[in-house]
Structure 1
Amino acid sequence: MKHPLGFFEANIVASRGCIYNCAFCAAARSLNRDIKIRERTSDSLIKELNDISKEFPSVTSIRVLDDLFLKSSKSIETAIDVFQNFDYSWRSMAHVMTFRNVSENQLSRLKDTGCSELFIGIESGSPNILKSIHKTHDVEKIKFNLTNVLKSGISLKGYFIYGFPNETKNDFELTYQLAFELTEIAKQYDVKFRTSVFQFRPYHGTELFHTLKDEGLNEEKIVQVEGNDKLSSLVGRLQFNFHSGNYSKETDELLQNYIYKTSNLTSLKQWGI
């Protein structure tokens, strides 16, 4: 597949399932207790990458699509073991806590295998919101872990969500400030920090979906998805700008403005692309 930036990239999946329990996610462990987490072996991944190199010689980049290919120090060693056999540039999802016990040496070796960018679900900079959605709510730890990644020369893409139930302007501002700080830290180390920002939607079957339903909200309203033309015009993209209501304590206008200005922190234009 040709990436919008001009290079050819192939996608692979290295695992299924999740060890975490995010309240907004249908893959939360508490919702899938009877489904075993499955992880492919290094040999299996190496074989697939060899097949890609033979069948698609124009491919120069690999993207690992599953959320937890990189979830711990041990899994980072697996990634190093796999990708050190190839000349690919590669990108992957990871968790904010993946790097809590990872050394500078490991991160340096990870970069040397061609790891160019990691995708991190940060979601919020508000400890109260992070706690309510069962994410790591120590914001200083989040900054510390991600700073170490940026310091190693690996770029990051951070995913943020605005509009969680009962979220306030102060929560919005804390999220914006975290995104801003990470952007500035990336500049210090001459790497990129991209933001990808969304409006909260209560996906069917998730913990937050059931909470809202139990609070008396009509299920049809919760699952009714609508496009957001105003937000699309603000952020300059058509995809992803849909919602099923505003569940925060703030106005639609304020919510959309925070989505816009957080998205605009790291637009492609400011990178000269």
Structure 2
Amino acid sequence: MNKIDVLLINPYDENAIKNALGFITPPMNLMYLASSLEKESYKVKIIDDDLQQNGYEKVSEKAQNFNPKVIGLTATTSTIKSAVKYAELIKDALPNSLIVLGGPHATFLPTKTLKENESLDLIVKGEGEETLVGITNKLSDDDKIDFEDVKGIVYRDPDTGNLKETQERPLIKDLDSLPFPARHLVPSKSYGASKDQTGGIITSRGCVYSCNYCTSSLIMGKKFRSRSPDNVVDEIEEFVYKYGINDIGFMDDTFMLNKRRANDIADEIKSRNIDIEFVASSRVDRVDQSLLENLKTSGMKTIYYGVESGSQRILDLMKKGITLQNAEDAVKYAKNAGLGVLTSFILGYPGETETDMEDTIKFSTKLDPDYCQYSILTPFPGTPIYDELKSKDLIDNEDWQDYTVLKSIIKYNEMGLNSKMVENKLAKAYLKFYSRPKYLLNHRHMFKVILQTVFRSFIIPKLTGSTANGWYQNLDSNSSSK
């Protein structure tokens, strides 16, 4: 077998607020792909241009110097345009390479994406580890390539140019079988907030819930698949003893879905005497006092709750499956355990009124978390709300770079709202939450960052007529806590 080289690229999100905050997350998807390829003895390189910001031409030059047979790109909806720019330049320079695109946007619009972008050869849908290995094996084995038996892809036939779609690929059952992400291929100590180095870890996949605005269960499945506590803590030890990183972010959608497993992970960390601090997210209805206290004693410092609305009617429209009382209880449990709290909220949901948005702003300040994230409902392709609004012609545009969760792209003409009002409410929410005298007194260390972010994101756009884009972790869902 001719072992070919593979290059993986994480596009630069040129408009993201995370750059102002100094918070960059590692490209976990590419790192998992890389380790799976390395397990099969392929030589792999990762260019995280979202971190390094080399630019399109420089990345193209690096690709030419490496001269890989396979170039893999990942993209969210807001970064798809950027990803295609890399693909176009690299395809011109390396016309015989196979350019593969994966990620949420490509998963839900594979045919449309290929039709509109001739530089792309193949789309990987959903989980990519086994699929990309299968694609690369094909290129290594044959002079004449036939991808028909590689499950989970849409590709451009090299002879006819026609698009072909293969069978769906089953989800990976045993997550412990996956090698740890290839952290040696990225500057691991460069991720986190400002100078605080943070390592990302994913301990589970899949979401059993069906929130209207989220794609998580549609990409990773509605069945909760989890790694064993021993396997998880083995990876934590790698962070600490191999990379010297003691600050970790659990990036699961539903880390605490199985409370017993979460407790077991906490117990295993303590039994091995590992000195770490970590952040995790949870639904507000999946925590209790004893669980959070146990996690606190194992190193947990902050919890991230996806509350989403201060109106029970809107929560029900979202199919969130929680109550306002759940949120109040969850924040209380966290504070009692001595944890920091970060909450997220969505404004401008279809059917929402101005009063509902005001209720959300009031409720977010009533909860009084340490940090609060607000976003505008964005109907990402693949979500039920996208399909609903698309069928009613209520999506204002499909200029994907506008899908940033800070810009309104819904036609509210029949809903009692308008885009300008929703964007103004977003600015008001941030300003009201972070300008409270009590908050500023208790978070003096954050004042400069908060002022800088609010000014760049909301004040300057108001003065210039432009719109700031992105948030610190712009996934293809409106909130990263399900």
Same topology, TM > 0.5:
yes
Q: What residue in structure 1 maps to residue 417 of structure 2? A: 250
Q: What residue in structure 1 maps to residue 241 of structure 2? A: 54
Moved more, 113-122 or 67-76: 67-76
Is the CA contact 2:263–2:294 (under 8 Å) kept in the aligned structure 1?
Answer: no
Cα deviation code 1:170-200 (max 9, x no counterpart): 11011111101111xx5xxxxxx21111111
Give distance in 2, aligned partners of 1:150 and 1:163: 29
Q: What residue in structure 2 maps to residue 155 of structure 1? A: 340
State the Cα distance separating 1:13 from its structure 2 match: 0.7
The secondary structure found in structure 1 opposite 2:192 is coil
Is the CA contact 1:128–1:137 (under 8 Å) kept in the aligned structure 2?
Answer: no
Give distance in 1, aligned partners of 2:309 and 2:221: 30
Give distance in 2, aligned partners of 1:74 and 1:225: 40
Change (3 A) 1:105 1:166: closer
Matched, 1:262 2:429: yes
Q: What residue in structure 1 maps to residue 444 of structure 2? A: 272
Give distance in 1, aligned partners of 2:301 and 2:204: 20
Give distance in 2, aligned partners of 1:34 and 1:14: 15
Give runs of aligned pairs for residues 10-29 of structure 1, distance below 5 A.
10-28=199-217
Give distance in 2, aligned partners of 1:226 and 1:10: 28
State the Cα distance separating 1:4 from its structure 2 match: 2.7
The secondary structure found in structure 2 opposite 1:87 is coil
Name the TM-score, length of structure 1 as normaliser: 0.81
Q: Gaps spanning 5+ residues in structure 2: where? A: 1-189, 446-482
Matched, 1:199 2:376: yes
- How many residues align structurally? 247
Aligned partner of 1:41 among 212, 228, 233: 228
Give distance in 2, aligned partners of 1:33 and 1:44: 20
Cα deviation code 1:78-127 (max 9, x no counterpart): 3312432311110011111112xx2x333222211111111111111111
Letter in 1 for 2:206: G
Give distance in 2, aligned partners of 1:203 and 1:122: 19
Give distance in 2, aligned partners of 1:159 and 1:34: 23
State the Cα distance separating 1:244 from its structure 2 match: 2.5
Give distance in 1, aligned partners of 2:418 and 2:398: 20
Give distance in 2, aligned partners of 1:12 and 1:263: 29
Give distance in 1, aligned partners of 2:235 and 2:283: 24
Share of identical aligned residues, percent? 22
Change (3 A) 1:2 1:209: closer
Give distance in 2, aligned partners of 1:33 and 1:80: 25
Letter in 2 for 1:272: R
State the Cα distance separating 1:154 from its structure 2 match: 0.8
Name the TM-score, length of structure 2 as normaliser: 0.47
Q: What residue in structure 2 maps to residue 241 of structure 1? A: 406
Letter in 1 for 2:416: K
Give runs of aligned pairs for residues 1-273 of structure 1, distance below 5 A.
1-28=190-217, 31=218, 36-57=223-244, 59-84=245-270, 85=272, 86-99=274-287, 102=288, 104-183=289-368, 186=369, 193-217=370-394, 221-225=396-400, 227=402, 241-245=406-410, 247=412, 249-264=416-431, 265-266=433-434, 270=440, 271-273=443-445
Give distance in 1, aligned partners of 2:400 and 2:416: 20
- Look at both structures and tell me which one has the larger radius of gyration over its CA atoms: 2
Moved more, 140-149 or 161-170: 140-149
Q: What residue in structure 2 maps to residue 232 of structure 1? A: none
Is the CA contact 1:111–1:153 (under 8 Å) kept in the aligned structure 2?
Answer: yes
Give distance in 2, aligned partners of 1:130 and 1:154: 25
Give distance in 1, aligned partners of 2:196 and 2:317: 40
State the Cα distance separating 1:213 from its structure 2 match: 2.1
Cα deviation code 1:37-83 (max 9, x no counterpart): 321111111111111222211x1200011111122432331331243
Change (3 A) 1:242 1:254: closer
Change (3 A) 1:204 1:227: closer
Is the CA contact 1:71–1:97 (under 8 Å) kept in the aligned structure 2?
Answer: no
Letter in 2 for 1:11: G
The secondary structure found in structure 1 opposite 2:255 is coil
The secondary structure found in structure 2 opposite 1:203 is coil
Change (3 A) 1:200 1:123: same
Give distance in 1, aligned partners of 2:397 and 2:213: 13
Is the CA contact 2:230–2:265 (under 8 Å) kept in the aligned structure 1?
Answer: no
Give distance in 2, aligned partners of 1:217 and 1:149: 39
Is the CA contact 1:93–1:119 (under 8 Å) kept in the aligned structure 2?
Answer: yes
Root-mean-square deviation over aligned CA pairs: 2.6
Moved more, 243-252 or 129-138: 243-252
